[in-house]
Chains A and B, each alone.
Chain A
Amino acid sequence: MSIQKVVVMGAGHGGFQLAATLRQTGYQGSIQLLSDEPGLPYQRPPLSKSYMQGKISEMAMLFRPAAFYETEKVELIHDSAKIINCDAKTVELNSGKILPYDHLIIASGARNRLLNLPGSDLQGVHGIKTRQDADVLIPLLPIIKKLAVIGAGFIGLEFAAVAAAQGAEVHVIELGERPMQRAISEQMSEVFRLAHEQWGVQFHFNTGVSAIEGDGDKVSRLLTNDGSSIEVDRIIYGIGVIPNVEIAADAGLTIENGIVVDEMLLTSDPNISSLGDVANFPCKYFNGKRIRLESVQNAVDQARTIAARLMGNPAPYIQLPWFWTDQGNLKLQIAGLSIGYNETVIVGSVADQKLSVLCFCDGELICVESCNRAGDHMVGRKLLARVSGLTPEIAKVEGFDLKAWEVLNRPEV
Protein backbone atom coordinates (compact mmCIF):
# COMPACT_ATOMS: atom_id res chain seq x y z
CA MET A 1 0.00 0.00 0.00
CA SER A 2 1.50 3.26 -0.97
CA ILE A 3 1.65 6.11 1.51
CA GLN A 4 -0.69 8.98 0.76
CA LYS A 5 -0.95 10.87 4.05
CA VAL A 6 2.15 11.92 5.92
CA VAL A 7 1.92 13.80 9.21
CA VAL A 8 5.11 15.31 10.64
CA MET A 9 5.09 16.27 14.29
CA GLY A 10 7.52 19.17 14.74
CA ALA A 11 8.84 21.61 12.13
CA GLY A 12 12.45 21.97 13.21
CA HIS A 13 15.49 20.84 11.24
CA GLY A 14 14.34 17.25 10.89
CA GLY A 15 10.65 17.84 10.30
CA PHE A 16 11.24 20.52 7.70
CA GLN A 17 13.86 18.46 5.87
CA LEU A 18 11.57 15.49 5.74
CA ALA A 19 8.82 17.51 4.07
CA ALA A 20 11.24 19.14 1.65
CA THR A 21 12.94 15.88 0.67
CA LEU A 22 9.65 14.08 0.13
CA ARG A 23 8.57 16.76 -2.33
CA GLN A 24 11.99 16.92 -4.01
CA THR A 25 11.86 13.21 -4.64
CA GLY A 26 8.41 13.26 -6.17
CA TYR A 27 6.07 12.35 -3.33
CA GLN A 28 2.54 13.23 -4.45
CA GLY A 29 0.46 12.64 -1.33
CA SER A 30 -0.40 15.08 1.45
CA ILE A 31 2.12 16.45 3.97
CA GLN A 32 0.87 18.01 7.18
CA LEU A 33 3.71 19.67 9.09
CA LEU A 34 2.84 20.49 12.69
CA SER A 35 4.57 23.36 14.40
CA ASP A 36 3.96 24.49 17.95
CA GLU A 37 6.20 27.52 17.43
CA PRO A 38 4.95 30.78 15.87
CA GLY A 39 6.07 31.86 12.41
CA LEU A 40 7.78 29.97 9.62
CA PRO A 41 10.17 27.09 10.40
CA TYR A 42 13.72 28.33 11.00
CA GLN A 43 17.23 27.16 11.80
CA ARG A 44 18.44 27.08 15.38
CA PRO A 45 22.24 27.37 15.18
CA PRO A 46 22.26 31.15 14.48
CA LEU A 47 20.18 31.81 17.62
CA SER A 48 23.25 31.74 19.82
CA LYS A 49 25.63 33.03 17.14
CA SER A 50 25.07 35.29 14.13
CA TYR A 51 21.40 36.10 14.83
CA MET A 52 22.18 36.92 18.45
CA GLN A 53 24.90 39.28 17.22
CA GLY A 54 22.57 40.94 14.76
CA LYS A 55 24.66 39.72 11.82
CA ILE A 56 21.80 38.00 10.04
CA SER A 57 18.13 38.85 9.72
CA GLU A 58 15.15 36.82 10.79
CA MET A 59 14.52 36.02 7.15
CA ALA A 60 17.99 34.61 6.68
CA MET A 61 17.22 32.06 9.38
CA LEU A 62 14.17 30.67 7.62
CA PHE A 63 14.47 27.35 5.82
CA ARG A 64 12.15 28.65 3.11
CA PRO A 65 9.84 31.62 2.50
CA ALA A 66 6.07 31.37 2.94
CA ALA A 67 5.55 30.72 -0.77
CA PHE A 68 7.36 27.38 -0.51
CA TYR A 69 4.65 25.88 1.66
CA GLU A 70 1.98 26.87 -0.83
CA THR A 71 3.67 25.92 -4.05
CA GLU A 72 5.03 22.65 -2.67
CA LYS A 73 1.73 21.81 -0.92
CA VAL A 74 3.27 21.38 2.49
CA GLU A 75 0.43 22.18 4.88
CA LEU A 76 2.03 24.00 7.81
CA ILE A 77 -0.32 23.69 10.78
CA HIS A 78 0.39 25.91 13.78
CA ASP A 79 -0.87 23.63 16.51
CA SER A 80 0.59 20.98 18.76
CA ALA A 81 0.01 17.29 18.64
CA LYS A 82 -1.65 16.06 21.81
CA ILE A 83 -2.60 12.42 21.41
CA ILE A 84 -1.38 9.77 19.00
CA ASN A 85 -3.77 6.88 18.43
CA CYS A 86 -1.66 4.12 16.88
CA ASP A 87 -4.57 1.79 16.17
CA ALA A 88 -6.72 4.38 14.45
CA LYS A 89 -3.59 5.98 12.91
CA THR A 90 -4.60 9.48 13.92
CA VAL A 91 -3.05 12.45 15.69
CA GLU A 92 -5.27 14.67 17.79
CA LEU A 93 -4.21 18.29 18.02
CA ASN A 94 -4.61 20.75 20.87
CA SER A 95 -7.42 22.41 18.94
CA GLY A 96 -9.29 19.11 18.90
CA LYS A 97 -8.71 18.57 15.20
CA ILE A 98 -7.94 14.98 14.24
CA LEU A 99 -5.44 14.18 11.49
CA PRO A 100 -5.42 10.68 10.00
CA TYR A 101 -2.05 9.43 8.74
CA ASP A 102 -0.59 6.58 6.73
CA HIS A 103 2.79 7.38 8.21
CA LEU A 104 3.67 9.62 11.15
CA ILE A 105 7.11 11.09 11.75
CA ILE A 106 7.85 12.27 15.26
CA ALA A 107 10.37 15.11 14.98
CA SER A 108 9.57 16.79 18.27
CA GLY A 109 13.14 17.58 19.28
CA ALA A 110 14.11 18.31 22.84
CA ARG A 111 13.52 21.08 25.34
CA ASN A 112 16.01 22.73 27.64
CA ARG A 113 16.50 21.09 30.99
CA LEU A 114 15.41 23.73 33.46
CA LEU A 115 17.45 24.91 36.41
CA ASN A 116 15.95 23.49 39.53
CA LEU A 117 17.41 25.79 42.16
CA PRO A 118 16.18 28.22 44.75
CA GLY A 119 15.77 31.47 42.84
CA SER A 120 15.75 30.04 39.33
CA ASP A 121 12.37 31.68 38.72
CA LEU A 122 13.80 35.18 39.26
CA GLN A 123 13.77 37.68 36.40
CA GLY A 124 16.97 37.60 34.38
CA VAL A 125 17.42 33.83 34.10
CA HIS A 126 17.30 32.61 30.48
CA GLY A 127 17.71 29.53 28.32
CA ILE A 128 18.23 29.64 24.54
CA LYS A 129 16.21 27.21 22.46
CA THR A 130 13.79 29.15 20.31
CA ARG A 131 13.67 32.29 18.21
CA GLN A 132 11.52 33.80 20.95
CA ASP A 133 14.25 33.12 23.51
CA ALA A 134 16.79 34.86 21.29
CA ASP A 135 14.46 37.79 20.62
CA VAL A 136 14.19 38.38 24.36
CA LEU A 137 17.97 38.37 24.78
CA ILE A 138 19.03 40.41 21.75
CA PRO A 139 17.98 43.85 23.12
CA LEU A 140 19.40 42.95 26.54
CA LEU A 141 22.80 41.93 25.22
CA PRO A 142 24.35 45.42 25.08
CA ILE A 143 23.31 46.16 28.65
CA ILE A 144 24.51 42.96 30.30
CA LYS A 145 27.32 43.91 32.68
CA LYS A 146 27.88 40.75 34.64
CA LEU A 147 26.79 37.47 33.14
CA ALA A 148 26.86 33.97 34.55
CA VAL A 149 26.63 31.07 32.15
CA ILE A 150 25.67 27.84 33.88
CA GLY A 151 27.04 24.87 31.95
CA ALA A 152 30.09 24.94 29.67
CA GLY A 153 28.41 23.19 26.75
CA PHE A 154 28.27 24.42 23.16
CA ILE A 155 25.37 26.86 23.45
CA GLY A 156 26.49 28.35 26.76
CA LEU A 157 29.99 28.91 25.44
CA GLU A 158 28.76 30.39 22.17
CA PHE A 159 26.74 32.91 24.15
CA ALA A 160 29.63 33.50 26.59
CA ALA A 161 31.85 34.46 23.65
CA VAL A 162 29.21 36.81 22.24
CA ALA A 163 28.66 38.51 25.62
CA ALA A 164 32.37 38.82 26.37
CA ALA A 165 32.88 40.51 22.99
CA GLN A 166 30.20 43.03 24.03
CA GLY A 167 32.27 43.90 27.07
CA ALA A 168 30.34 41.97 29.71
CA GLU A 169 32.11 40.33 32.62
CA VAL A 170 31.41 36.65 32.00
CA HIS A 171 31.57 33.77 34.46
CA VAL A 172 31.08 30.21 33.28
CA ILE A 173 30.14 27.77 36.04
CA GLU A 174 30.54 24.11 35.22
CA LEU A 175 30.25 20.92 37.26
CA GLY A 176 32.73 19.10 35.05
CA GLU A 177 36.39 19.87 34.78
CA ARG A 178 36.70 21.30 31.30
CA PRO A 179 34.74 22.99 28.48
CA MET A 180 32.48 20.78 26.34
CA GLN A 181 33.71 17.80 28.32
CA ARG A 182 31.10 15.34 27.08
CA ALA A 183 31.71 15.99 23.42
CA ILE A 184 35.36 16.79 22.74
CA SER A 185 38.86 15.63 23.63
CA GLU A 186 40.86 17.08 26.48
CA GLN A 187 43.30 18.64 24.04
CA MET A 188 40.61 20.54 22.16
CA SER A 189 38.92 21.55 25.41
CA GLU A 190 42.16 23.15 26.47
CA VAL A 191 42.39 25.20 23.28
CA PHE A 192 38.92 26.56 23.94
CA ARG A 193 39.56 27.18 27.63
CA LEU A 194 42.57 29.34 26.76
CA ALA A 195 40.72 31.17 24.01
CA HIS A 196 37.76 32.02 26.22
CA GLU A 197 40.09 33.20 28.94
CA GLN A 198 41.78 35.46 26.42
CA TRP A 199 38.38 36.91 25.59
CA GLY A 200 37.88 37.65 29.28
CA VAL A 201 35.72 34.71 30.30
CA GLN A 202 36.31 33.42 33.83
CA PHE A 203 35.78 29.68 34.30
CA HIS A 204 34.68 28.01 37.51
CA PHE A 205 35.13 24.27 36.91
CA ASN A 206 34.16 21.50 39.32
CA THR A 207 31.62 23.95 40.66
CA GLY A 208 27.88 23.67 41.11
CA VAL A 209 25.39 26.45 41.63
CA SER A 210 23.51 26.12 44.90
CA ALA A 211 21.18 29.09 44.71
CA ILE A 212 20.30 32.25 42.84
CA GLU A 213 19.49 35.35 44.84
CA GLY A 214 17.73 38.51 43.79
CA ASP A 215 17.18 42.15 44.51
CA GLY A 216 13.42 42.08 44.69
CA ASP A 217 12.39 39.85 41.81
CA LYS A 218 15.51 40.55 39.72
CA VAL A 219 18.53 38.29 39.79
CA SER A 220 21.60 39.79 41.51
CA ARG A 221 23.82 37.06 42.87
CA LEU A 222 24.66 33.43 42.38
CA LEU A 223 25.89 31.16 45.16
CA THR A 224 28.14 28.22 44.36
CA ASN A 225 28.58 24.97 46.25
CA ASP A 226 32.09 25.95 47.33
CA GLY A 227 30.58 28.78 49.33
CA SER A 228 31.47 31.71 47.11
CA SER A 229 29.07 34.23 45.68
CA ILE A 230 29.24 35.95 42.30
CA GLU A 231 27.46 39.22 41.53
CA VAL A 232 25.52 38.96 38.28
CA ASP A 233 22.76 40.77 36.43
CA ARG A 234 21.90 37.97 33.96
CA ILE A 235 22.11 34.22 33.97
CA ILE A 236 22.08 31.94 30.93
CA TYR A 237 21.78 28.23 31.49
CA GLY A 238 22.65 25.43 29.12
CA ILE A 239 22.61 22.26 31.18
CA GLY A 240 21.38 19.77 28.65
CA VAL A 241 18.06 18.89 27.14
CA ILE A 242 15.13 16.58 27.72
CA PRO A 243 13.77 14.79 24.64
CA ASN A 244 10.10 15.55 23.96
CA VAL A 245 8.83 11.98 24.33
CA GLU A 246 5.70 12.38 26.42
CA ILE A 247 3.14 12.06 23.63
CA ALA A 248 4.97 9.10 22.12
CA ALA A 249 5.18 7.47 25.54
CA ASP A 250 1.44 7.92 26.10
CA ALA A 251 0.85 6.24 22.76
CA GLY A 252 2.77 3.21 23.98
CA LEU A 253 5.93 3.59 21.89
CA THR A 254 9.14 2.22 23.39
CA ILE A 255 11.02 4.99 25.17
CA GLU A 256 14.51 4.95 26.61
CA ASN A 257 16.50 8.16 26.61
CA GLY A 258 14.31 9.34 23.74
CA ILE A 259 12.11 7.44 21.33
CA VAL A 260 13.73 4.10 20.53
CA VAL A 261 14.09 3.49 16.79
CA ASP A 262 15.76 0.71 14.81
CA GLU A 263 18.45 1.14 12.15
CA MET A 264 15.70 2.07 9.66
CA LEU A 265 14.58 4.80 12.10
CA LEU A 266 11.26 3.07 12.69
CA THR A 267 9.76 3.20 16.18
CA SER A 268 8.15 0.22 17.86
CA ASP A 269 5.08 1.02 15.72
CA PRO A 270 5.61 0.21 12.02
CA ASN A 271 3.61 3.29 10.96
CA ILE A 272 5.67 5.74 12.97
CA SER A 273 9.26 6.88 12.42
CA SER A 274 11.29 9.24 14.53
CA LEU A 275 14.46 11.27 14.04
CA GLY A 276 16.70 14.03 15.31
CA ASP A 277 17.14 15.21 18.89
CA VAL A 278 14.30 13.02 20.18
CA ALA A 279 15.36 9.70 18.60
CA ASN A 280 17.60 7.11 20.21
CA PHE A 281 19.10 5.11 17.34
CA PRO A 282 21.75 2.41 16.83
CA CYS A 283 24.77 4.30 15.53
CA LYS A 284 27.25 2.72 13.14
CA TYR A 285 29.93 5.10 14.41
CA PHE A 286 29.29 4.15 18.03
CA ASN A 287 29.89 0.42 17.53
CA GLY A 288 26.23 -0.04 16.73
CA LYS A 289 25.24 1.06 20.22
CA ARG A 290 22.30 3.38 20.75
CA ILE A 291 22.78 7.09 21.09
CA ARG A 292 20.75 10.28 20.87
CA LEU A 293 22.57 13.03 19.00
CA GLU A 294 21.73 16.72 19.02
CA SER A 295 22.98 18.12 15.76
CA VAL A 296 21.74 19.54 12.50
CA GLN A 297 23.52 16.83 10.51
CA ASN A 298 21.81 14.09 12.47
CA ALA A 299 18.31 15.55 12.07
CA VAL A 300 18.77 16.36 8.37
CA ASP A 301 20.39 13.08 7.30
CA GLN A 302 17.90 11.03 9.28
CA ALA A 303 15.07 12.91 7.58
CA ARG A 304 16.56 12.00 4.19
CA THR A 305 16.83 8.36 5.17
CA ILE A 306 13.18 8.24 6.25
CA ALA A 307 12.00 10.11 3.16
CA ALA A 308 13.87 7.64 0.95
CA ARG A 309 12.23 4.72 2.74
CA LEU A 310 8.77 6.24 2.35
CA MET A 311 9.51 6.64 -1.35
CA GLY A 312 10.30 2.96 -1.66
CA ASN A 313 14.08 3.02 -1.18
CA PRO A 314 14.61 1.60 2.30
CA ALA A 315 18.13 1.63 3.71
CA PRO A 316 19.55 1.67 7.19
CA TYR A 317 20.76 4.99 8.60
CA ILE A 318 24.57 4.94 8.45
CA GLN A 319 25.65 8.55 8.04
CA LEU A 320 28.79 9.81 9.73
CA PRO A 321 27.96 12.28 12.52
CA TRP A 322 29.42 15.77 12.13
CA PHE A 323 28.94 18.99 14.01
CA TRP A 324 30.17 22.55 14.20
CA THR A 325 30.17 25.37 16.73
CA ASP A 326 31.36 28.97 16.33
CA GLN A 327 32.85 30.65 19.37
CA GLY A 328 34.52 34.03 18.96
CA ASN A 329 36.86 33.72 15.98
CA LEU A 330 37.10 29.94 16.36
CA LYS A 331 35.16 27.45 14.30
CA LEU A 332 35.22 23.98 15.78
CA GLN A 333 34.16 21.17 13.48
CA ILE A 334 33.83 17.61 14.64
CA ALA A 335 33.68 14.58 12.36
CA GLY A 336 32.78 11.31 14.04
CA LEU A 337 32.27 10.79 17.77
CA SER A 338 35.17 11.10 20.19
CA ILE A 339 33.50 8.93 22.84
CA GLY A 340 35.89 6.20 23.92
CA TYR A 341 39.12 7.49 22.36
CA ASN A 342 42.29 6.38 24.09
CA GLU A 343 44.96 8.12 22.02
CA THR A 344 45.18 11.49 20.31
CA VAL A 345 47.52 13.11 17.81
CA ILE A 346 47.54 16.86 17.23
CA VAL A 347 48.20 18.16 13.73
CA GLY A 348 48.67 21.86 13.00
CA SER A 349 49.48 24.60 15.46
CA VAL A 350 48.02 25.01 18.93
CA ALA A 351 49.69 28.42 19.26
CA ASP A 352 47.95 29.72 16.11
CA GLN A 353 44.65 28.07 17.14
CA LYS A 354 44.68 26.19 13.85
CA LEU A 355 44.78 22.54 14.63
CA SER A 356 43.06 19.22 14.44
CA VAL A 357 42.96 16.59 17.14
CA LEU A 358 42.83 13.11 15.67
CA CYS A 359 41.18 10.75 18.15
CA PHE A 360 41.97 7.05 17.97
CA CYS A 361 40.47 4.09 19.77
CA ASP A 362 42.83 1.11 19.93
CA GLY A 363 44.75 2.49 16.97
CA GLU A 364 41.71 3.18 14.78
CA LEU A 365 40.68 6.72 13.82
CA ILE A 366 37.25 7.49 15.32
CA CYS A 367 37.03 11.29 15.36
CA VAL A 368 38.64 14.38 13.84
CA GLU A 369 38.16 17.63 15.75
CA SER A 370 39.27 20.67 13.79
CA CYS A 371 39.66 24.21 15.01
CA ASN A 372 39.91 26.72 12.16
CA ARG A 373 41.09 23.88 9.88
CA ALA A 374 38.02 23.31 7.74
CA GLY A 375 40.05 21.35 5.20
CA ASP A 376 41.02 18.75 7.80
CA HIS A 377 37.37 18.45 8.77
CA MET A 378 36.30 17.67 5.23
CA VAL A 379 39.12 15.17 4.79
CA GLY A 380 38.29 13.69 8.18
CA ARG A 381 34.76 13.04 7.01
CA LYS A 382 36.08 11.16 4.00
CA LEU A 383 38.52 9.10 6.06
CA LEU A 384 36.02 8.20 8.74
CA ALA A 385 33.44 7.07 6.23
CA ARG A 386 35.76 4.28 5.08
CA VAL A 387 38.28 1.97 6.73
CA SER A 388 41.09 4.46 6.52
CA GLY A 389 44.08 2.57 7.84
CA LEU A 390 45.40 5.78 9.40
CA THR A 391 47.22 4.98 12.63
CA PRO A 392 48.60 7.21 15.38
CA GLU A 393 52.11 6.15 14.32
CA ILE A 394 51.58 7.48 10.80
CA ALA A 395 49.97 10.71 12.03
CA LYS A 396 52.74 11.38 14.55
CA VAL A 397 55.46 11.61 11.91
CA GLU A 398 56.88 15.13 11.61
CA GLY A 399 55.27 17.01 8.71
CA PHE A 400 52.25 14.67 8.45
CA ASP A 401 49.47 16.29 6.39
CA LEU A 402 45.98 14.82 6.62
CA LYS A 403 44.85 15.93 3.20
CA ALA A 404 47.96 14.73 1.36
CA TRP A 405 47.74 11.40 3.17
CA GLU A 406 44.09 10.96 2.22
CA VAL A 407 44.86 11.58 -1.46
CA LEU A 408 47.73 9.07 -1.44
CA ASN A 409 45.72 6.43 0.37
CA ARG A 410 42.44 6.53 -1.49
CA PRO A 411 41.05 3.07 -2.07
CA GLU A 412 41.08 2.07 -5.74
CA VAL A 413 37.73 2.33 -7.45
Chain B
Amino acid sequence: MINVTFIEHNGTEHKVTAEAGQSVMQAATFNQVPGISADCGGAGACATCHTYVAAEWVDSFPTKTEMETDLLECAIDIRENSRLSCQLVLSDAVDGIVITLPESQ
Protein backbone atom coordinates (compact mmCIF):
# COMPACT_ATOMS: atom_id res chain seq x y z
CA MET B 1 0.00 0.00 0.00
CA ILE B 2 1.21 3.44 -0.94
CA ASN B 3 0.08 6.54 0.92
CA VAL B 4 -0.94 9.49 -1.21
CA THR B 5 -2.08 12.88 0.03
CA PHE B 6 -4.15 15.03 -2.29
CA ILE B 7 -4.58 18.70 -1.45
CA GLU B 8 -7.46 20.46 -3.14
CA HIS B 9 -7.09 24.03 -4.35
CA ASN B 10 -9.02 25.23 -1.29
CA GLY B 11 -6.63 23.41 1.03
CA THR B 12 -8.80 20.38 1.83
CA GLU B 13 -6.60 17.33 2.36
CA HIS B 14 -7.46 13.79 1.32
CA LYS B 15 -5.21 11.02 2.62
CA VAL B 16 -5.72 7.85 0.62
CA THR B 17 -3.94 4.57 0.00
CA ALA B 18 -3.39 2.95 -3.37
CA GLU B 19 -1.62 -0.06 -4.79
CA ALA B 20 1.66 -0.10 -6.68
CA GLY B 21 0.89 -0.04 -10.38
CA GLN B 22 -2.14 2.21 -10.02
CA SER B 23 -1.91 5.67 -11.45
CA VAL B 24 -2.11 8.80 -9.34
CA MET B 25 -5.29 9.58 -11.26
CA GLN B 26 -6.87 6.32 -10.11
CA ALA B 27 -5.72 6.85 -6.57
CA ALA B 28 -7.83 10.00 -6.67
CA THR B 29 -10.91 8.79 -8.54
CA PHE B 30 -11.08 5.47 -6.68
CA ASN B 31 -11.20 7.42 -3.42
CA GLN B 32 -13.70 10.09 -4.43
CA VAL B 33 -11.12 12.87 -4.36
CA PRO B 34 -12.89 15.65 -6.28
CA GLY B 35 -11.23 17.77 -8.94
CA ILE B 36 -9.96 15.16 -11.37
CA SER B 37 -12.53 14.29 -14.00
CA ALA B 38 -10.28 12.01 -16.11
CA ASP B 39 -12.69 12.00 -19.02
CA CYS B 40 -10.64 9.62 -21.17
CA GLY B 41 -10.05 7.19 -18.33
CA GLY B 42 -6.28 7.51 -18.44
CA ALA B 43 -5.68 7.16 -22.17
CA GLY B 44 -3.68 10.37 -22.33
CA ALA B 45 -6.29 11.94 -24.56
CA CYS B 46 -8.10 14.57 -22.53
CA ALA B 47 -5.91 16.52 -20.06
CA THR B 48 -8.64 16.57 -17.41
CA CYS B 49 -6.37 14.88 -14.86
CA HIS B 50 -3.91 17.76 -14.38
CA THR B 51 -2.15 17.87 -11.00
CA TYR B 52 0.93 19.38 -9.34
CA VAL B 53 3.56 17.03 -7.92
CA ALA B 54 5.27 18.26 -4.73
CA ALA B 55 8.91 19.19 -5.35
CA GLU B 56 10.59 16.30 -3.57
CA TRP B 57 8.82 13.70 -5.72
CA VAL B 58 9.07 15.39 -9.09
CA ASP B 59 12.13 13.35 -10.04
CA SER B 60 10.63 10.04 -8.91
CA PHE B 61 8.67 9.69 -12.14
CA PRO B 62 9.87 9.25 -15.71
CA THR B 63 10.00 12.56 -17.55
CA LYS B 64 7.03 13.69 -19.61
CA THR B 65 6.49 12.23 -23.03
CA GLU B 66 5.94 14.64 -25.89
CA MET B 67 2.25 13.74 -25.81
CA GLU B 68 1.96 14.69 -22.16
CA THR B 69 3.82 17.97 -22.70
CA ASP B 70 1.53 18.79 -25.63
CA LEU B 71 -1.62 18.06 -23.69
CA LEU B 72 -0.46 19.95 -20.63
CA GLU B 73 0.27 23.07 -22.62
CA CYS B 74 -3.45 23.49 -23.01
CA ALA B 75 -4.35 22.84 -19.39
CA ILE B 76 -5.26 25.74 -17.13
CA ASP B 77 -2.55 27.27 -14.90
CA ILE B 78 0.35 25.00 -15.76
CA ARG B 79 3.49 25.17 -13.66
CA GLU B 80 6.93 23.59 -13.60
CA ASN B 81 5.61 20.63 -11.59
CA SER B 82 2.44 20.06 -13.61
CA ARG B 83 1.77 16.46 -14.61
CA LEU B 84 -1.09 14.47 -16.05
CA SER B 85 -1.87 12.21 -13.13
CA CYS B 86 -2.94 9.30 -15.36
CA GLN B 87 0.64 9.10 -16.62
CA LEU B 88 2.13 8.78 -13.11
CA VAL B 89 2.39 5.17 -11.97
CA LEU B 90 2.64 4.67 -8.21
CA SER B 91 5.44 2.57 -6.74
CA ASP B 92 6.80 2.04 -3.23
CA ALA B 93 9.42 4.67 -4.03
CA VAL B 94 6.80 7.40 -3.82
CA ASP B 95 5.10 6.28 -0.61
CA GLY B 96 3.92 9.44 1.17
CA ILE B 97 3.71 11.53 -1.99
CA VAL B 98 1.83 14.82 -1.91
CA ILE B 99 -0.19 15.93 -4.93
CA THR B 100 -1.89 19.31 -5.25
CA LEU B 101 -4.93 19.85 -7.44
CA PRO B 102 -5.52 22.83 -9.71
CA GLU B 103 -8.47 25.16 -9.23
CA SER B 104 -10.19 23.70 -12.28
CA GLN B 105 -9.50 21.24 -15.08
Nearest CB in chain A: distance from B16 CB, A: 11
Check A64 against B30 for contact (C-beta < 8 Å): yes
Residue in chain B with minimal CB distance to A72: B32
B22 at the A interface (CB under 8 A)? yes
Q: Say whether A373 contacts B70, CB under 8 Å.
A: yes
Contact A378 B30 (CB under 8 A): no
A363 in contact (CB, < 8 A):
no
Contacts of B22 in A (CB 8 A): 59-60
A-side contacts of B32, CB under 8 Å = 68, 71-72
Q: How many residues of A contact B (CB 8 A)?
A: 31
In the complex the two chains form, is B39's CB within 8 Å of A300's CB? Answer: yes
Residues of B within 8 A of A300 (CB): 39
B34 touches A24 (CB 8 A): yes
Q: Decide yes or no: A60 and B45 within 8 Å by CB, A65-B30, A71-B32 being known contacts.
A: no
Question: Is the beta-carbon distance between B30 and A372 smaller than 8 angstroms?
Answer: no
- Does A208 make an interface contact (CB < 8 A)? no
Is B71's CB within 8 Å of the partner chain A? yes
CB distance from B64 to the nearest CB of A (A): 11
| A377–B67 alpha-carbon span in the complex (Å) | 11
Main secondary structure of the interface of A (DSSP, over half): helix
**Contact pattern, A 4-44, Cβ under 8 Å of B = 1, otherwise 0:** 00000000000000000000100000000000000000010
Interface string of A48-72 (1 = CB under 8 A from B): 0110000001011001110010011
How far does the alpha carbon of A81 sit from the alpha carbon of B104 in the complex, in Å?
38
Q: Does B51 contact A (CB under 8 A)?
A: no
Q: Tell me the smallest distance from the CB of B101 to a CB of chain A, in Å.
A: 15
Q: Assess whether A331 is interfacial by the CB under 8 Å rule.
A: yes
User: Complex: how many Å from CA A171 to CA B66?
Assistant: 32
In the complex, whether B82 has a CB less than 8 A from a CB of chain A is no
Min CB distance A280 to B, Å, is: 23
Say yes or no: B42 contacts A60, CB within 8 Å: yes
In the complex, the answer to whether A43 meets B73 with C-beta atoms within 8 Å is no
Chain A, residues 360-373, CB within 8 Å of chain B (1/0): the string is: 00000000000011
Chain A 379-410 near chain B by CB (<8 Å), digits 1 or 0: 10010000000000000000000010000000
A346 within 8 A of B: no
> Contact at A57–B39, with CB atoms within 8 Å?
no
Query: Chain B contact residues (Cβ within 8 angstroms of A): what range?
Result: 20 to 34
Total A-B Cβ pairs within 8 A: 60
Known: A60-B26, A65-B30, A68-B30. A331 touches B74 (CB 8 A): no
In the assembled complex, the CB of B86 is this many whole angstroms from the nearest CB of chain A, namely 10
* A46, B44: Cα distance in complex, Å: 12
A202 within 8 A of B: no
User: A63–B39 Cα gap in the complex (Å)?
Assistant: 11
Contact for B73 among A45, A60, A375, CB less than 8 A: A375
Cα distance A27–B2 in the bound complex, in angstroms: 32
Binary contact readout A308-327 vs B (1 if CB under 8 angstroms, 0 otherwise): 00000000000000001010
- Inter-subunit contact A326/B39 (CB<8 Å): no
Check if B41 sits within 8 Å of A382, measured CB to CB. Answer: no
A71 and B32 CA atoms in complex are apart in Å by 10
Closest to B21 in A: A57
Asked if A64 contacts B39 (CB within 8 A), the reply is no
Question: How near does chain A come to B73, taking the closest CB pair, in angstroms?
Answer: 5
Bound state CA distance, A45 and B42, in angstroms? 10
Within 8 A of A (CB), among B50-90: 66-67, 70-71, 73-74
Q: Which residues of A contact B (CB under 8 A)?
A: 24, 43, 45-46, 49-50, 57, 59-60, 63-65, 68, 71-72, 296-297, 300, 324, 326, 331, 333, 372-375, 377-379, 382, 403
The list of the 3 closest CB pairs from A to B, nearest first, reads A378-B74, A375-B70, A324-B45
A-B contact pairs, 28 of them (CB 8 A): A45-B40, A45-B43, A46-B41, A49-B43, A57-B21, A59-B22, A60-B26, A68-B30, A68-B32, A71-B32, A72-B32, A296-B39, A296-B40, A324-B40, A324-B43, A324-B45, A326-B43, A331-B44, A372-B66, A374-B45, A374-B67, A374-B71, A375-B73, A375-B74, A377-B45, A378-B47, A378-B70, A403-B74
